[in-house]
Amino acid sequence: MSKINAVITGIGGYVPEYILTNEELSRMVETNDEWIYTRVGIKERRILNEEGLGSAYMARKACRQLLAKTQVDPQTIDCVICATTTGDYHFPSNASIIIGKLGLKQAHGFDVSCACCGFLYILDMASAMIQSGRYKRIICVAAEKMSSMVDYQDRQTCVLFGDGAGAAMLEATEEEGVGFQDSFLRTDGLGLPFLHMKAGGSVCPASHYTVDHRMHYVYQEGRTVFRYAVTSMADDIQEVMKRNNLTMNDVNWLIPHEANMRIIEAVAKRLETPMEKILVNIEHYGNTSAASIALALWDFEKKLKKGDNVLLTAFGAGFVHGASFYKWGYDGDKVGKNA
C-alpha cells in the first residue's frame, strides 16, 4: 500500500482595503515613519474598520477565494481548522461560522489558539489527520483582527500589527516527493509574563475596572520577546534541517512569521543564509499574527515551484515556536494570487 501524504494544492488570502500608514499613525501617537521603519521594517498595515465584521469575515473571504482557485467541490471538504487569537466570539468557534456561511455541509471544524504560531501548528495537525487515512481534504485558515486588541496610544505595539487572513487547501496524495515532510514544534511555557492580554479571560473577566485601566490590549516586553524569538526560530530551523539531512544550500525558500524585520534579519544571520532566500512581506501588512505565514504564501505563490524545499518557522505567545519542512507540490505561477 502506498504511503499517504498531505500536500497543499492551493492558497487563498484576504486583506482589508483600508491601509493604515506610518504617516497616519504619527498623527495618533508620538512616532514617525523613520522610527517605525528602521526598527520594525513596516511601512503600512491593513485594518478591518467596518463595524460588525471580525476575523471570521476575513477567513471566509480567504476560503472563498481558495475554493474558487482550486475548483474544489465544497461538499468534499472534511474539516476546517481555524487558527486565531481574535475569534469573533469566545464561542462559537470561528470554524463553525466559516462552515455555516460557506455551506460546507460535510465538514466539521474547530479553532486553535497558538498566537503567531497558529498557521504552522494547524498545518502540522491537518497533515497528520490526512496521513492517518481518515481525511482527504482539509482547509487550514488563519485569520486575525489584531486591530481589535491593539492600544493605539502605545507606540511600542500599535506600529506592529495588522489584520488579514490566509487559507491553504490540504489534500491526500500518494505522489512521492511532494508535501509535508517534518515538523519540530515546542511550547516552553515561559512566556506568560512577557506577552499577554491582562483581562478578558476567566482569570480576569471584563469589568468597568479592566476597561478603565486599558487592560484589554496586547502587553509585550519587546526585548525579551525579541531575544526568545530569534533564538527559538533559528534553533528550530536547524533542528528540522538536521533531522532531514538538509543544509541551507538545499533550501529554496524560508518563510518566517512576519513579526519584526529585525527579528527576521537576526534569524538569517544566525543561519548564515542570504535574505534573498527569505520571503518577507511585513513592509505592507505588518504583523498579522497567525495569518502571517499564510499571507506570505499567498503573496509569493508565483515564486514557488514543484519540488522546492520550503521551511516555515514561527514564534508566539506562550512561548510557542517551531519549524516545518515542506516540499512544494505545484508550480505557483500556473495558479497565481488573483486566479
Nearest to 279 by CA among 231, 218, 326: 326
- The amino acid present at 123, given as its one-letter code, is L
**Cβ(9)–Cβ(69) under 8 Å?**
no
Q: Active site includes 338?
A: no
How far from chain centre, in Å, is Cα 104? 23
Nearest to 315 by CA among 250, 274, 259, 267: 259
**Cβ(20)–Cβ(47) under 8 Å?**
yes
| Residue 11 DSSP code | E
Catalytic residue among 116, 117, 140, 158: 116
Catalytic residue among 5, 257, 260, 321: 257
**Cβ(305)–Cβ(331) under 8 Å?**
yes
C-alpha–C-alpha distance, residues 161 and 258, integer Å: 10
Nine cell digits for residue 102: 460557506
Ordered DSSP codes for 42-68:
-SEEE---STT--HHHHHHHHHHHHHH
Q: Active site includes 196?
A: no
Q: Active site includes 114?
A: no
Bridge-based pairing of strands 179-187 and 320-327 is antiparallel
Helix boundaries (H) for the chain: 22-25, 33-40, 55-70, 94-102, 118-131, 155-158, 208-212, 222-243, 261-271, 282-285, 292-299
Residues 6+ apart with CB under 8 A from 321: 117, 185, 186, 187, 188, 228, 229, 232, 233, 236, 313, 314, 315
C-alpha–C-alpha distance, residues 284 and 258, integer Å: 11
Catalytic residue among 117, 140, 287, 321: 287
Annotated active-site positions, please?
A: 116, 257, 287
